[in-house]
Amino acid sequence: MTIEAVEEVMAHKITCEECIVCGACSTECPGEAIIEGKDCYVIDPKKCNDCGACADICPQECIVAPEE
């Protein structure tokens, strides 16, 4: 497994089906790791440091930590 693949597994993830595209997570992220995708916001696993700020602010609670 490459290092990049490990990071992808470890990073926070947005459950796209539940995201209402409000943008709150993107504003909250200190690493600018969250961008608006085609159907929902998406987290760049290479920029995410797993601080959890996005998961705390999300009104849909659809951002999951890697250990969950």
Q: Which residues in this chain contact ligand SF4 in the complex, by CB under 6 A?
A: 12, 14, 19-25, 28-29, 31, 33-34, 40-41, 43, 48-54, 57-60, 62-63
Exposed/middle/buried for 24, CB within 10 Å: 0-12, 13-18, 19+?
middle
Minimum distance from residue 53 beta carbon to ligand SF4 (Å): 4
Minimum distance from residue 26 beta carbon to ligand SF4 (Å): 6
The dihedrals phi and psi of 54, each to the nearest 5 degrees, come to: -65, -40
Q: Quick one: 5 or 23, whose CB is closer to ligand SF4? A: 23
Minimum distance from residue 7 beta carbon to ligand SF4 (Å): 11
Q: What are the residues facing 43 on neighbouring strands?
A: 34
